Chain A
């Protein structure tokens, strides 16, 4: 397949020699902490930031193409809706400045308003819209000129949890419906896993690892990646069997764990330290995914306290908010109970190994 976007040796004040290929129709998530260079990389692609190296669109370099001719849809982090234009005028702005025929503009406007389900907002001004509505308008505006490439810069970070989850689902289905090559920037690992065909982890201007969410999660290539995705506990899977209700039972050699069943056998499972619940007393409920462990190490570095536990033959890493850790009187040698949160257990289906 032909790469839709290719970066070759892109270097500037923050990016360090970045090589990256994004395939046609793919949704690539650019994941990294604040200040890692995510937005800068989007600006490079859009032509808004200076750089050395080369950006290729469908195989041909666009380094000398000014931003307004690159044909890229860009959803800015702060959305950047034009406050003096109403929703319709915001959405059609790109079409108007490109002097498309009025009939086409009208058709496209109606299409987008329907697609985003914001027909009723057509004549509102940005100041009167809610966060989620603004987000939809900004997306419609970016999509209006039918760009080949869509760049999304943390579009959901300023929304409340529920709206952002809802829009994430909408966005994913929209992207696959339109088949538009998309780069999605976020610092939220969950968002990255949920949305991305592939994830590119960036840290201090350098690409650390590019791969499917599973590859990143089960096989972090260096400590930066591992650190950023939360140093997951990875357990081998000796036997597993389906037990109904969309669940399966996995024997990891010592621990028997219940995990979501994805339809196939699995090789490994992973769970983030923050998805392990720690309790001093025996927790109520059925005896599933509940284990007893002994603390072997405590690292209280607020806001989180990291705890190493010996559970059966395994060593698991868990995290609790430091304040709660202090209230629980955690100390080395103490015996505590663990619950592995069911829905956050990830399973790897690795055909090679």
Chain B
């Protein structure tokens, strides 16, 4: 089980790192000074971007895309995964197709989707959908197949119908596996959305990053990276927390 994040001693290395950064930049001991603002300047810019609404606006756009695309992708992956894990016939039918599509990197779909969907809000959502659907589906199938057959037989002799076995025994026991998929993909969704926004979409954190680059605004770039780090981290932690809430009692 992953260790829980506890603020405390973990803060110390971060603080030392930031201090070194600040001092290094202020003392002018790093070459290419223009390209290296001190930490305090970055924080200042962070504040400005929040106040003038630029950061919030772009962040909310990215967040919205991630939430919608990720939710749909997970729901779809879960649904198809449950069907495949539970009904061997469906598994036999879909598994070959999924095995072919799964290895394609989500961003590889981008050019195709740009032409199919066009450059609009649906594009990033579709990319996120693809990026979350396959892994969640895959982990769900693995989770369901991994449930001890004896437990299913036991439920059967106790009078449970097939559907009841699925909801009361198989799914709860597949939760750890399913959540591993969700957790990994929650961070992945952020990585993918940024790339998509950098390449194809004029709004969102990724687009903001690219604009900052063309204006040589290192401070804005670093602000964006900080936001991304926080979001990936938060998403993964939320799923870790949910998983532990659901399974801590019996695992």
> Which of B148, B160, B250 is close to A97, meaning CB atoms less than 8 Å apart?
B160
Known: A78-B150, A80-B150, A84-B173. A67 touches B156 (CB 8 A): yes
Q: Are B249 and A73 in contact (CB under 8 A)?
A: no
What residues of chain B lie closer than 8 Å to A125, measured between beta carbons? Answer: 249-250
Decide if A97 touches B155 in the complex (CB within 8 Å). yes
Given the complex, which residues of B lie within 8 Å of A98, measured CB to CB?
A: 159
Please, what's the 1-or-0 string for B127-169, where 1 marks a CB less than 8 Å from any CB in chain A? 0000000000000000000001011011111111100100011
User: For the complex, what is the distance from the CA of A74 to the CA of B151, rounded to whole Å?
Assistant: 12
Q: A80-B148, A93-B168 are in contact. Are A68 and B161 (CB under 8 A)?
A: yes
Complexed CA–CA distance, A94 and B158 (Å): 5
B250→A68 contact, CB < 8 A: no
B202 close to chain A: CB less than 8 A = no
Chain B proximity of A143: nearest CB distance (Å): 11
Shortest CB-to-CB span from B179 to chain A, Å, is 14
Kindly supply a per-residue 1/0 record for chain B positions 232-251, scoring 1 wherever the CB is within 8 Å of any chain A CB and 0 otherwise: 00000000000000010111
Contact between B158 and A46, CB atoms less than 8 A apart: no
B161 CB contacts on chain A under 8 angstroms: 68, 97
- Let me know if A97 and B164 touch, CB within 8 A: yes
B24 interface residue, CB < 8 Å from A? Answer: no
Instruction: Determine whether B172 belongs to the interface, using a CB cutoff of 8 Å to chain A.
Output: yes
From residue A49, how far is it (CB to closest CB) to chain B in Å?
A: 10
Question: Are B159 and A83 in contact (CB-based, < 8 A)?
Answer: no
**A83:B153 contact, CB within 8 angstroms:** no
Q: With A and B bound together, what is the CA distance between A341 and B168 in angstroms?
A: 53
Closest to B164 in A: A97
Chain A residues, CB < 8 A from B158: 68, 93-94, 97, 141-142, 144-145
- Are A73 and B157 neighbours in the complex by a CB distance under 8 Å? yes
Is B168 touching A97 in the complex (CB atoms < 8 A)? yes
Say yes or no: B154 contacts A80, CB within 8 Å: yes
Chain B residue numbers with a CB within 8 Å of A84 are: 172-173, 247, 249-250
Is A72 part of the binding interface, using a Cβ–Cβ cutoff of 8 Å? yes
Tell me the count of chain A residues lying within 8 A, CB to CB, of chain B. 29
User: CA A145 – CA B158 in complex, angstroms?
Assistant: 8
B residues 158-202 in Cβ contact with A at 8 Å? 158-161, 164, 168-169, 172-173
The interface residues of chain A lying within 8 Å CB-to-CB of B150 are 76, 78, 80
The answer to whether residues A68 and B160 also contact, given A80-B148, A84-B173, A125-B249 and a CB cut-off of 8 A, is yes
A349 beta carbon closer than 8 Å to chain B: no
**B157 partner residues in chain A, CB cutoff 8 A:** 46, 48, 67-68, 70, 72-74, 142
Tell me the complex Cα distance, A68–B159, Å.
4
Query: With A68-B160, A76-B150, A83-B173 as given contacts, are A93 and B250 in contact (CB-CB < 8 Å)?
Result: no
Complex CA–CA separation, A125 to B247 (angstroms): 12
| Complex partner residue of B153 from A76, A86, A97, A144, CB under 8 angstroms | A76
Contact between A83 and B164, CB atoms less than 8 A apart: no
> How far is the CB of B151 from the nearest CB of chain A, in Å?
5
Q: What 0/1 pattern do residues 56 to 92 of A give for CB contact below 8 A with B?
A: 0000000000011111111010101011111000000
Does A127 reach chain B (CB closer than 8 Å)?
yes
What residues of chain A lie closer than 8 Å to B159, measured between beta carbons? 68-69, 71, 94, 97-98, 145
Measured between alpha carbons, how far is A141 from B159 in the docked complex, in Å? 12
For the complex, what is the distance from the CA of A86 to the CA of B154, rounded to whole Å?
Answer: 16
Chain A nearest CB, measured from B247 CB (Å) = 8
Docked Cα-Cα span, A93 to B160, in Å, equals: 9
CA gap between A93 and B173 in the complex, in Å: 15
Q: Which residues of B contact A86 (CB under 8 A)?
A: 249
A73 to B251, CA, bound (A): 27
Q: How far is the CA of A106 from the CA of B123 in the complex (A)?
A: 54
Q: Write out the residue numbers on chain A whose beta carbons fall within 8 Å of the beta carbon of B160.
A: 68, 93-94, 97
Instruction: Output the residue of B159, B164, B250 with the most chain A CB within 10 A.
Output: B159
Listed A/B pairs (10) with beta-carbon separation below 8 Å: A48-B153, A48-B157, A67-B153, A68-B160, A71-B159, A72-B157, A76-B153, A80-B148, A97-B164, A142-B157
A83-B173, A94-B158, A97-B168 known, 6 other contacts, Cβ within 8 Å: A72-B157, A80-B148, A86-B249, A93-B155, A93-B160, A97-B158
Closest 10 CB pairs of A and B: A94-B158, A80-B154, A97-B160, A80-B150, A74-B157, A67-B156, A84-B250, A98-B159, A84-B172, A68-B159
